[in-house]
Amino acid sequence: MRQAPILKPKFRKRQINKAWLPTHIYHAKRAHMTPPSEPLWRMAIPLSPTAKTYRPTHRAGTVRGAIAWDMSYMSTIGLSGPEGSIRNLLASIGVPWAEESTSTGPKASRWLTGTRSWNGWLHEHGTVPKAYIAPATIFWCVHEASDTTKTTDTRRQVMVRIHPSAFFQLWAETLRLSKLQRPVVFVEDLRYEIGSIELAGPAAAEAMIGTLWPSLQDSLHEPDSPSQVLSRLGNVTDASALPAGAMISTETSDPRLHHPPRSKKLNKTETLEAQQSLARLLTEWHVDRTQGPAALFSRQARHDAGHRLPTQKAINRRKSLAPPGEYPAAVEGDPKIPTLVLASRRAAGGTSTGTWTILLPWKCVLPVWYSLMYQPLSTGGNPRLGGLDQRRQLHFESGTPWFPGDYPATPAGAAWNARESTKRHEAWSRRPKGKRIEYESLDLGRGRKGEVGAGWSCEWGLLCGGSEGQSKSDKPVWHIPMHEALQAMRDTGTNSRTEGQQQGDASGLVTVKLTLLTRGVPTTCARVYRLPKTDAKLRAEWLSLLSLSKEKARHKATAVVPPLSRDAPVHERRRQLAASLLEPPAMPQAGDDGYPDTPDPDELLGFVTGGNFNLGEGRGTAIGSLALQRILEQEKHGLGEHERICIVRNVGQSIGRLARWDLV
């Protein structure tokens, strides 16, 4: 296992039980960090900038500007060995494109060639049901140009990027499977050797292009080379416009030679010819045939880039010798920083743009970061600093679950939710008894008293046959990805499910996006109910509320009555009176006597893991987990248009809100 790099002696005592990011000192002056005695995933991670950033983060991520994160805490595992052995190992942990039967398609072939990346879920080998670990990104190193005879014995290299909370679980599984391969696969821990920076927002590509200057050798390449293609992407406002899983490998120069950065001159795209040129670049994508082996896979290249960087004093000397107003000229001995750029697409139907991930050696992250944060943008300002909270916010607004918080059925997600539950319980205990919610005396209507489960946590055991108060550790649950959940819903009513699949269905959780159909804002730990099955009267009340909300929305969109002036004639006043009489009946407001009560605990469907007011949609939304078995029970009854309607009740409150859930 690789150890954290040793820093200056005056900083060593501060890293006894944690490691620092390459940009720790920059963040410590501008952001709220994790407490010194409570590191997150064994590292000191910035949580949020000290300035107010909720609305500015929404604008920078979706409308104007860019936002950047130091993602060097992400873990990287390197695999090297014969191609056949590596593919067998990857197929064992859930990579479908590594299997022989599914590796013939164009997407899989590009991934195996090394010009595309794969994103998906990995699981442990041989478990029933499948024990999913975490989502990961996997990409190959391109073959050498001299390799004309490609066989399964050809030595290849692969990198696997995964969240640090699931690193040890994947490391142990990969190490075990590598010893079973013949020939053997070598596994390498690349933490603290490869760092990364992530960018999001319409101006993210512009900031990235202004920071990554090609090295002297790359600047002389042909127009279709990866470095030249990268320099022409400044006008791209959404990384989703690039091919799925696009990768660009290049070598860049020391950004300190071009500091302070200047606004990048972008090609104007107002003319039809310029727009067509950019469209041809994105559709033809010459990088697929011009991409060479990525220097980032070479240990020697990573070592040289990190240890041959000149001192700041040498940089200042070269800048003083340059002509006024010009950057120092590139020379043959300048260090080359191996860089790999990954473009990821946004979620389907989301409001945010795609993201750009820059992979580079660990010791080269800091100079690139400083140049990036001071890069002027054409829309004004500089890229914004992002922390863990801003990353969760953009995931939430785009309707994308955030790992590990929104996946409580995984070991990493269970640990995160247990940690957050403990913090909420401690905050609740510190409040005086007169100023905190007494969950035991909560009135849920119809003579029911007390909250369902603990008010500061999500009782997942209640969804899988457990009794109230039974924790998730007592009643294990399994994560079910969206494609498996859809297959289970299609197989409802048939006998095609295997014993292992039925076991996973009985205790499986699926991740969903919840959209409120009426007013209200869902919060974390909110309870999600299905429409009542046993109480027909209560079910009819909720369905009538649903029909009233639809009718009111339809009437509001079509029949807008303008206000009348004071001197309006009598016949117009009568016409307006008649129109008001034809309006749909008023909906009962939350808290009124006619508002329906929440269903019984037997109708519990799941819990909310994160909710708030969504600035992108202008309404309350949430991300939660629902019990797959209870969803399949609804599928058997064939509820039609009411199949995905649910009721969301915030913890500590007795009022429910109608919502619609969708698998994500």
Q: Which H or E run includes 486?
A: helix 482-490
Q: What pLDDT does 556 receive? A: 52
Q: Please tell me the least confidently modeled range out of 55-64, 229-238, 467-476, 492-501.
A: 467-476
Q: What pLDDT does 470 receive? A: 47
Q: What pLDDT does 269 receive? A: 62
Q: What pLDDT does 473 receive? A: 44
Name the one residue in this structure whose structure tokens are 């009643």: 475
Determine contact, residues 438/429, Cβ cutoff 8 Å. Answer: no
Q: Quick one: what percent of the chain has pLDDT higher than 70?
A: 91
Cα-only R_g, the chain: 28
64 HSE (CA, 13 A, CB side): 6
Q: Positive or negative, the Cα torsion across 24, 30, 346, 169? A: positive
- What is the distance between the alpha carbons of residues 355 and 345, in angstroms, rounded to a whole number? 7
Name the one residue in this structure whose structure tokens are 């990346």: 117
Name the one residue in this structure whose structure tokens are 């743009």: 353
DSSP string for residues in 467-500: PTT--TTTS--EE--HHHHHHHHHTTTSS---HH
- What is the distance between the alpha carbons of residues 35 and 66, in angstroms, rounded to a whole number? 28
- What is the distance between the alpha carbons of residues 212 and 411, in angstroms, rounded to a whole number? 38
Coil, helix or strand for 84? helix
- Can you read off the two tokens belonging to residue 205? 């590509």
- What is the distance between the alpha carbons of residues 349 and 347, in angstroms, rounded to a whole number? 6
Determine contact, residues 155/82, Cβ cutoff 8 Å. Answer: yes
pLDDT interval class at 275 (50, 70, 90): confident
Query: Does the structure show a pLDDT above 80 at 630?
Result: yes
> What number does CATH give the domain 414-553+588-663?
2.40.30.110
Average pLDDT over residues 327-348: 89
Q: What pLDDT does 554 receive? A: 56
Count of helix runs (H) and strand runs (E) in the chain = 20, 24
pLDDT interval class at 75 (50, 70, 90): very high
What is the crossing angle of helices 54-62 and 388-397, to 10°?
Answer: 60
Q: What pLDDT does 149 receive? A: 54
Q: How many CB atoms lie within 10 A of CB 498?
A: 10
What secondary structure letter does DSSP report for 191?
T
- What is the distance between the alpha carbons of residues 514 and 623, in angstroms, rounded to a whole number? 6
Coil, helix or strand for 483? helix
Which range scores top for mean pLDDT: 105-109, 330-334, 407-411?
407-411
Q: Quick one: what percent of the chain has pLDDT higher than 90?
A: 67
537-558 confidence digits (pLDDT tens): 999 999 988 887 765 555 454 5
279 HSE (CA, 13 A, CB side): 7
pLDDT interval class at 496 (50, 70, 90): confident
Q: What pLDDT does 472 receive? A: 42
Q: What pLDDT does 57 receive? A: 96
Determine contact, residues 294/142, Cβ cutoff 8 Å. Answer: yes
Q: What pLDDT does 555 receive? A: 47
Determine contact, residues 609/526, Cβ cutoff 8 Å. Answer: no
Cis before 214? omega within 30: no
- Can you read off the two tokens belonging to residue 157? 């290299």
Average predicted confidence (pLDDT) for the chain: 89
Label the pairing between strands 46-49 and 67-70. Answer: unpaired
Residues in the chain, how many?
A: 664
93-105 confidence digits (pLDDT tens): 999 998 887 777 8
- Can you read off the two tokens belonging to residue 232? 């022409």
- What is the distance between the alpha carbons of residues 45 and 47, in angstroms, rounded to a whole number? 6
Q: How many CB atoms lie within 10 A of CB 8?
A: 6
Neighbour-count burial for 12-26, b at 16+ CB within 10 Å, e otherwise = eeebeebbbbbbbeb
- What is the distance between the alpha carbons of residues 527 and 647, in angstroms, rounded to a whole number? 8
Between 193 and 577, the more confident residue is 193
Between 593 and 239, the more confident residue is 239
- What is the distance between the alpha carbons of residues 354 and 61, in angstroms, rounded to a whole number? 9
571 HSE (CA, 13 A, CB side): 0
Domain residue extents for the chain: 75-143+150-189, 414-553+588-663
The conformational region for residue 648 under phi > 0 = left, psi -120 to 50 = alpha, else beta, is beta
Coil, helix or strand for 249? strand
158 HSE (CA, 13 A, CB side): 30
Query: Does the structure show a pLDDT above 90 at 220?
Result: no
Phi, psi (deg, nearest 5) at residue 502: -65, -35
Query: Does the structure show a pLDDT above 90 at 246?
Result: yes
Residue 658, beta-bridge partner list: 647
C-alpha to C-alpha distances, 566 to 563, 575, 578, nearest whole angstrom: 10, 15, 18
Determine contact, residues 248/335, Cβ cutoff 8 Å. Answer: no
**Measured between alpha carbons, how far apart are the two ends of the chain, in Å?**
35
The correct answer on CATH 3.30.70.1400 for the domain covering 75-143+150-189 is yes
DSSP string for residues in 69-80: EE-TTSEEEEEE
Name the one residue in this structure whose structure tokens are 């108060």: 469
Query: Does the structure show a pLDDT above 70 at 267?
Result: no
Determine contact, residues 616/397, Cβ cutoff 8 Å. Answer: yes
